[in-house]
Amino acid sequence: MSKNTYYITTPIYYVNDVPHIGNAYTTIIADVVSRYHKLKGERAFLLTGTDEHAIKVAQAAGDKGLPTKEFVDGLVEKFKQVWASLDVQYDDFIRTTEPRHINVVHAIFSRLLEQGDIYKGEYQGWYCVPCETFLAESDLVEGKCPECGRAVEWVQEENYYFKLSAYSDKLLDYIESHPGFLQPEFRKNEVVSFIKQGLRDVSITRDNKGWGITVPGDESKVIYVWFDALINYISAIGYLSDDEKFNSLWPADLQLMGKDIFVRFHCTFWPAMLMALGLEQPKTLFGHGFWTINGEKISKSKGNAISPAKLADDLAAESGASRGVCLDAVRYFVAREVTFGVDGDFSIASFRNRFNSDLANDLGNLLNRTLSMLNKYFDGRIPDPKGFSGGLKETIAQTAKTAEEYCDKFEFTRALEAIWQMIGAGNKFVNDMKPWELEKQGKTDELAGVLYSALEVARAAAIMISPFMPATSVEIARQLGIADEFASLTWADTIAGNPFKPGTKTQGPDPIFPRLDTKKKVEAVKLEPKPEETPLSEKTEETISYDYFSKLKIRIAEVISAERVEKADKLLKLQVSLGDEQRQIVAGIAQYYEPESLVGKKIVLLANLEPAKIRGIVSNGMLLAATGEDDRAVILTPESDVPAGSKVR
């Protein structure tokens, strides 16, 4: 049976604590992708689950004084509750303690052992328990784990190894011949660099301490959690047990994970395991960035982890909006706020601003005002128009095309921006056409066309945002009087000719997004008293708020390489290091700096600028420079040496 379903996976999550906004992000985006493909009339299958055999899970259970299985059973239910509360519609939830998974892990281990891809040897080296990662001396940073910065332990034991080193050339060849395999592009470069440094065989067992999948024929050992965990992507869909189901789903179309498990595990270890098994590679492995909270890393010790469910509950209590709509606001924010793939910062101020500006002012305003006028002038019934007005039909068609292209490329921020531009066009059209004036002038046909066209924008928006905001889209459909048919509408229906049946009775308007009192909140968190008797001139220079400034991520970067852009006199292409990642940027400084003079130089970089293509080259950030004499660009540099990646405050 040939593959006929779009298959999406999240990583399976450690069950040593409840989900927070960071790991909810991956699952929300996976759900958006799944719903989007279903909206296009395709079959989609979303897999998520829990990774339960980690040493740190057993340690967390011990800290609670609970048997490990009892501990993980309780947390698994909490994961499922969070995904349900976020309206995540997964098709399967895999647990690595399930027999269907354990049986496949045993079978794969035995096969690879028999064919020589697994062998027995002595392991001596460092191991990070929190990251569940074997590390060489050269990997350590000041004697600690390079990923989490915590202490490592020395391990010396007889173990089984996977021959990862044998797959270096095959991996590089595959990556080179499949451009869309690893995304985003700058993370692909990290993978290639990692492989070229030389892959080492991986120890894939640990001494059996009572928790884990035992090695077939050798119960003194349990299988390394990462070898065990990665297999979930095929054990859940019938590998070795249901050929028809497996062939209908594999290879995966999109596998999502955070950047911390992208390079070492999902882009080297996992593809090599698949090669050893003779299985096709996933079509795309995508490593996204991390969320910080008000500029700080999410940390249990700091107590700054945000529960998405609690965030929605608080918003609902304050605004009076339904809980489903408030959960949608969380979903919307994480998809809209930052480009998918790069790091993002979650601040309550930014979240509230999005709620007021994008949801209440733009989308809510279009729906509420148009339905109010429809009630006033046409008894709340869809009029029989002569057709669209103001070119809105073309606007909707172009938006559907543009947003679809962006969603297909996982550029969700841009897709939502395009949809909101359409909503803005609808609001502007109503303002310009002044339906209230048309009614006074007795221009009933024109009035009908204006309101019909504005409502059609709201209808198209409801369809397009449904993968991101499912509860909101259903509520919009209810108010538009199309609730019964809405579930059967597809992406193509956004550009249908006359979707509304004349005479359809609408509902409401019932405000979906009651505005928040931001003034009250700002006063409550003011950092310093307002100066008294401060004279103001008639014209003041435009200012920005502290919250707006806090959204800018300005960091120190080190130039690794620089070269001129062909047929562009002003442009240089730079590869820069931010300490924990590498970026490519394009800068218009070629008239003032020779490329070789920049290598090793520390520069100041606006790091969370939306990626852009300049002369066909992707630029992930902006170099900051001042204007010197004769309009010469002068690169800003730190006064003293600071590490690459340092924040500019």
In 578-624 the beta strands, taken as DSSP E runs, fall at 582-587, 602-606, 612-614, 617-619, 622-623
Spatial separation of the C-alpha atoms in residues 79 and 218, rounded to whole Å: 33
Cα–Cα nearest to 458, from 485, 482, 492: 482
| pLDDT at res. 596 | 64
Identity of the residue numbered 516:
L
User: Which of the residue ranges 47-56, 314-323, 584-593 would you say has the lowest mean pLDDT?
Assistant: 584-593
Q: What is the pLDDT of residue 361?
A: 94
Give the tens place of pLDDT for each residue, 115-136: 999 999 887 788 887 777 888 7
Average of per-residue pLDDT across 278-287: 98
- From residue 533, how far is each of 128, 231, 530 by CA, in Å? 59, 68, 9
- Tokens in use for 402? 């543009």
Decide if pLDDT at 431 tops 70: yes
The Cβ-side half-sphere exposure at 116, using a 13 Å CA radius, reads 2
Q: How confident is the model at residue 46 (pLDDT cuts 50, 70, 90)?
A: very high
Which pLDDT belongs to residue 20? Answer: 80
What local confidence, expressed as pLDDT, does residue 369 receive? 95
The Cα–Cα gap between 393 and 452 comes to 11
**What are the tokens at 118?**
């697994």
% of the chain at pLDDT higher than 90: 58
Q: Respond yes or no on whether the N-terminal peptide bond of residue 251 is cis (omega within 30° of 0).
A: yes
On whether the CB atoms of residues 11 and 94 are closer than 8 A, the answer is: no
Task: For residue 570, give every residue at least 6 positions away whose Cβ sits within 8 Å of its Cβ, in sequence order, or none.
Answer: 588, 589, 590, 591
* Encoded tokens for 326: 């408030």
* Window from 108-112, 251-255, 303-307 with minimum mean pLDDT: 303-307
Stretch 146-168: mean pLDDT: 89
β-bridge pairing 6-9 and 44-51:
parallel
Place 630 in a pLDDT band, splitting at 50, 70 and 90. Answer: low
CATH fold of 6-289 reads: Rossmann fold (3.40.50)
CA-wise closest residue to 232 among 51, 3, 27: 51
Burial class (CB in 10 A: 0-12, 13-18, 19+), 99: exposed
**pLDDT tens by residue, 346-404:** 888 899 999 999 999 999 999 999 999 999 999 999 998 876 677 898 999 999 999 99
Q: Is 90 helix (H, G, I), strand (E, B) or coil?
A: coil
Strand pairing category for 625-627 and 633-635: antiparallel
Angle at 299 between CA 306 and CA 130, to 5 degrees: 130
Between residues 644 and 6, which one has the greater pLDDT? Answer: 6
d(CA 277, CA 280): 9
198: left (phi over 0), alpha (psi -120 to 50) or beta: left
Q: Domain 552-635: what homologous superfamily? A: Nucleic acid-binding proteins (2.40.50.140)
CA dist., res. 4 & res. 246, Å (int): 11
Residues 425-431, mean pLDDT to the nearest whole number: 95
- What is the number of helices (H) and of strands (E) in the chain? 23, 26
Please give the distance of CA 328 from its chain centroid, rounded to a whole number.
15
Tokens of 571: 């442009």
pLDDT bracket for residue 497 (50, 70, 90)? low
Length of the chain, in residues? 649
Start-to-end C-alpha separation, the chain: 57
Amino acid at 136: A
Average pLDDT over residues 256-273: 95
The amino acid occupying position 548 is: Y
Q: Are strands 285-288 and 13-14 parallel, antiparallel or unpaired?
A: unpaired
Percent of all residues in the chain with a pLDDT value above 70, rounded to a whole number? 91
CA distances from 563 to 495, 560, 567, 607, 634 (A): 45, 11, 12, 20, 18
- Residue ranges covered by each domain of the chain: 6-289, 308-495, 552-635
pLDDT at 408: 97
- Does residue 561 carry a pLDDT above 80? no
Report d(CA 523, CA 515) in Å as an integer.
17
Mean pLDDT, rounded, for 413-422: 97
Q: 75: Cβ–Cβ under 8 A, 6 or more apart, which residues?
A: 15, 16, 17, 18, 50
Q: CATH number for the 308-495 domain, one of 3.10.290.10, 3.30.1330.90, 1.10.730.10, 3.20.20.120?
A: 1.10.730.10
CA angle 334, 339, 343 (to 5 degrees): 75
Provide the residue type at 138 as one letter: S
φ, ψ dihedrals at 505, nearest 5°: -85, 120
Residues ≥6 apart with Cβ < 8 Å to 122: 156, 157, 158, 159
Instruction: Count CB atoms within 10 A of the CB of residue 373.
Output: 20
At 560 the three-state DSSP class reads strand
Its pTM stands at: 0.78
Say what the alpha-carbon torsion angle 487, 489, 494, 495 is, to the nearest 10 degrees: -160
Q: Residue 182: is its pLDDT beyond 90?
A: yes
pLDDT value for 628: 63
